Structure 1
Amino acid sequence: MSENKVAFGLKNVHYAVITKGEDGAETYGVPKRYTGAVELTLEPKGELSEFYADDTVYYSASTNQGYEGTFNAAEAPEDFRISVLGEKLVGGLLVEDANIKPKPVALLFEFDGDVKATRHVLYNVTFNRPGLASKTKEDATEVSTNELSFMAAPRAKDGRVKIKTSSTTTEEIYNKWYTAVPEAVELPIV
C-alpha cells in the first residue's frame, strides 16, 4: 500500500481507561467510543538543549515529554465524565467535586488520508475537565462544543508516547485497532 500524501478529518475517537494493579502493572480497558469529535490538536512537549563550545553548537539533544493537546467535541458522554473525569452519579445527578482525580486513558483516533485513514494511539493521556459555555439562539442554531485540554505523557514501563499505522501495517492489525489498545511488537528477524 502506498503512503498518504495528505491528512484531513477526525473520526473514530475512543478511550480506554488505564487500571493499575496491586503489582503496579497497568492494563487497558476495552476502548469505548467518544462520539461527536470536532478537532484534536497536539503540541510537542520537550526541550531542545544546545551546548556551545569552540564557537559553535558542540552538542545538542532533545527530550520527548509527550504532548499537550486539546480535544474539541460535542457533549462529553456521561460514561466518560464518570469513568475518566471522576464525576459521580448521585441520585440521578452528575456531581463534580473538588476531590476529583481524573483517570489516565489511552486515546485512539484516526485522521483520514488520500489513500487510507491513519490510526493513532496515545498511551498515557490525562484529561482536564472541560469548561462550560453556551449562548442564546439567534436566527440560526449554533451548536456549543466542549474543549478538553490534556497531557499525553510517556508511558512509565517503556517510555512510549504514541504509535500510528503506516503503509506496512497489516490488515489484521488495522481492522482490530479499536477492539483493544494496540501494541507495537518487534517481529523476530528471520
Structure 2
Amino acid sequence: MPTNKANKVKFGLKNVHYALLQEGEDGAVTFAAPVRIPGAVNLSMEAQGDTSTFYADNMAYYVTSANDGYSGDLEIAVIPDSFRKDVLMEIEDETDKILVESVTAEPRHFALLFEFNGDQKAVRHVLYNCAATRPGLTGATTNKSKEPATEKISLTASPLANGNVRAKTTPDTPDEKYQGWYQTVWQPAVPGVGG
C-alpha cells in the first residue's frame, strides 16, 4: 500500500553528481564517493535500442526491443576541474597548476546521479555506466547584456555487465536510502535485479 503521493509533474534539474566506476578482478562493480557537479542546466538522454519484429502467420508474431541504455547531453554552467581530472583524465601540471588535455587520455566510466523536482518530492536517479566525450570550446563576445555561456558534455549510459542501466527513487523509498542517495551509489542487493 503506497504511503506517499506520487508526483503528477516533474520540473527542474539539480544535485548532479558523478561517481567513478571501479571494477574488481572478479568483475564486481563498486563506485567511489559521489562528487557534486554544480551549475546543472539541462540533461537530455534518449533511450537507445532497436525493436525487432518476427513475422509469422501473416502478422507481427513476436516483437522485442533491446535496451542499449541512453545517450545524450549534460549541459552545465562550467565543467569543474575535478571532473576534467577524474573522468576526462586531463593532467594538472604540478608546478604551474595548468590542466593539459592529452591525445592518449582514456576517459573513465562513472555513475551519474541527479534529481528532477516534482510537485510532491524530487525523484532521484542514477545512470550506472556512463562515458563522456570531451566538451567543445565555445565563447562569444559580450554586448549589451551579459548572457552566461554554458558547457556541454555528450554522454553514453550503457548497461553494466549484470544488465542494470538505471535506478530511481519512488514515493515509497525508505527515507534513509533517499537521504543517502548522494553519499554512496545505490545498487540492488541482488545483482542484475532488472537484467
For residue 148 of structure 2, give the secondary structure of its aligned residue in structure 1.
coil
Counterpart residue identity of residue 149, structure 2? S
Equivalent in the alignment of 1:178 = 182
Equivalent in the alignment of 1:105 = 110
Equivalent in the alignment of 2:149 = 144
Deviation at 1:184, TM superposition (A): 2.8
Out of 13, 25, 50, the residue aligned to residue 10 of structure 1 is 13
Deviation at 1:80, TM superposition (A): 0.5
Out of 123, 130, 135, the residue aligned to residue 130 of structure 1 is 135
Equivalent in the alignment of 1:61 = 64
For residue 11 of structure 2, give the secondary structure of its aligned residue in structure 1.
strand
- What does the per-residue CA deviation read over 1:104-153, in whole Å, with 9 as the maximum and x for residues that have no partner? 00100000000000000000000111111010001101111111001000
Unaligned runs of 5+ in 1: none
- What does the per-residue CA deviation read over 1:35-76, in whole Å, with 9 as the maximum and x for residues that have no partner? 010000110010110011222101111110100021000111
Counterpart residue identity of residue 173, structure 1? K
For residue 172 of structure 1, give the secondary structure of its aligned residue in structure 2.
helix
Counterpart residue identity of residue 15, structure 1? Y
Q: How many pairs does the alignment contain?
A: 185
Unaligned runs of 5+ in 2: 191-195
Query: Is 1:44 aligned with 2:50?
Result: no
CA distance in 1, matches of 2:30, 2:170: 25
Counterpart residue identity of residue 10, structure 2? A
For residue 132 of structure 1, give the secondary structure of its aligned residue in structure 2.
coil
- Give the alignment of 1:155-174 within 5 angstroms: 155-156=160-161, 158-174=162-178
For residue 169 of structure 1, give the secondary structure of its aligned residue in structure 2.
coil
Distance 1:22 1:55, change over 3 A: closer
Counterpart residue identity of residue 134, structure 1? G
CA distance in 1, matches of 2:25, 2:60: 47
Report % sequence identity. 46
Equivalent in the alignment of 1:75 = 78
Equivalent in the alignment of 1:32 = 35
Equivalent in the alignment of 2:159 = 154
Provide the aligned C-alpha RMSD in A.
1.1
- Normalized against structure 2, the TM-score is what? 0.92
Counterpart residue identity of residue 31, structure 2? Y
